[in-house]
Amino acid sequence: MPDMKVDLHCHSNVSDGVLAPAAVAATARKAGVDVWALTDHDEVSGIPAARAAAEQQGMRFVTGVEISITWANETVHIVGLRIDENNQALVDGLASTRSGRDSRGREIARQLETIGIGGAYEGALKYVGNPDLMSRTHFARYLVEIGACANTGEVFKKYLSEGKPGYVPHCWATLAQAVGWIRDAGGIAVIAHPGRYRFTPLAQGELFSEFKQLGGAAIEVVTGSHTPDQYPQYAQLANYYGFLASRGTDFHAPGESRVDFAALPPLPANVTPVWHDWF
Ligand code: AMP
Ligand code: MN
Ligand code: MN
Ligand code: MN
């Protein structure tokens, strides 16, 4: 099926997306997606509803998750595909990864308070669909609501990224843990949007090598979190390291993402898709 449209990176309101899992499925289908994965941050509880909706819509469903890790003092995201979402090691690992999010949220709010932005914890909470998963994105939406910034991207730039007044450092899982949980659950580990991290080429190479050694299998090449000039760059790196290539919008909300479901280009022809032997 050479013209099959595959999207393996999306969020629902079970993490920091705005639509319920079934509504994300419907949105993807309307945009022509044939193979679809829901990959909420650190959480798999949206999978049953997503699977049911995907099957009802006639899409092939792929179980997924996007795990937050800390590597070389940076937050990196590892996507797990084709996981058994009931695997105990994975379920326990994700629960421990989520456990610090609420206290981090309270600390973000406390820091924003010191620069004159009050009520941010309660404000962000209005946007939270899953009390276990308070994200910086929910703060960003609240700060847009009160007129502090015009859009969520600007909030991250001015308030929520490293060195900014609402930034709270956080230690997530390790690379070895995340890849271990995914593999334990029978899944395929994928480095999400590798072009988004601020690593030197040397550090990026170390990340790829360590990931490969741990049993990581793929990197995202075409993602809404890459710029179009990064597609051929990461295609080349995938081939150099012997990784399969993945593709996904990183959809969070209608109108909020850089690229719409229908607009994301296919993978470059010179890579091996992560789904090459699935169907
Ligand atoms: P958290 O896991 O709470 O640290 O939040 C990370 C999430 O924030 C990411 O998954 C993105 O959805 C969002 N995010 C990070 N950086 C930006 C940015 N520059 N613009 C918009 N959203 C961002
Ligand atoms: Mn997100
Ligand atoms: Mn991510
Ligand atoms: Mn994502």
Segment 207-213 long-range contacts (CB within 8 Å, at least 24 positions apart): 207/71, 207/72, 207/76, 207/175, 208/237, 208/241, 208/243, 209/241, 210/175, 211/175, 211/179, 212/241, 212/242, 212/243
pLDDT tens digits, one per residue of 152-200: 999 999 999 999 999 999 999 999 999 999 999 999 999 999 999 999 9
Residue 71, helix vs strand vs coil: strand
Substitution site in 16, 157, 225 for ligand 1 pocket (most atoms within 8 Å of beta carbon) = 16
What's the pLDDT band for 261 if we cut at 50, 70, 90?
confident
Given the CA of residue 152, which atom of ligand 1 is nearest to it? 21
Please indicate whether residue 156, judged by its CB atom, sits closer than 6 Å to ligand 1.
yes
Query: What residues have CB less than 8 Å from 192, skipping those under 6 apart?
Result: 9, 66, 76, 77, 78, 79, 220, 223, 225, 250
Contact 50, 12 (CB under 8 A): yes
* Per-chain residues with Cβ under 5 A from ion ligand 3: 77, 192
Instruction: Tell me how far the alpha carbon of residue 161 lies from the centroid of ligand 1, in angstroms.
Output: 9
6-10, 57-61, 172-176, 259-263: lowest mean pLDDT where?
A: 259-263
What CA–CA distance (Å, rounded) separates 251 from 225? 9
Look up residue 122 and give its two tokens: 């309660």
Please indicate whether residue 177, judged by its CB atom, sits closer than 6 Å to ligand 1.
no
Give the mean model confidence (pLDDT) for residues 25-29: 96
Contact 35, 63 (CB under 8 A): no
Compute the C-alpha angle 171/220/39, nearest 5°: 60
pLDDT tens digits, one per residue of 31-44: 999 999 999 999 99
Please indicate whether residue 41, judged by its CB atom, sits closer than 6 Å to ligand 1.
yes
Instruction: Tell me how far the alpha carbon of residue 211 lies from the centroid of ligand 3, in angstroms.
Output: 17
Instruction: Tell me how far the alpha carbon of residue 71 lies from the centroid of ligand 3, in angstroms.
Output: 14
Give the mean model confidence (pLDDT) for residues 203-210: 98
What CA–CA distance (Å, rounded) separates 135 from 184? 26
The DSSP H or E segment spanning 105 is helix 101-114
Mean pLDDT of the chain: 96
Closest ligand to C-alpha of residue 198 is: 1
Has residue 241 got a pLDDT over 80?
yes
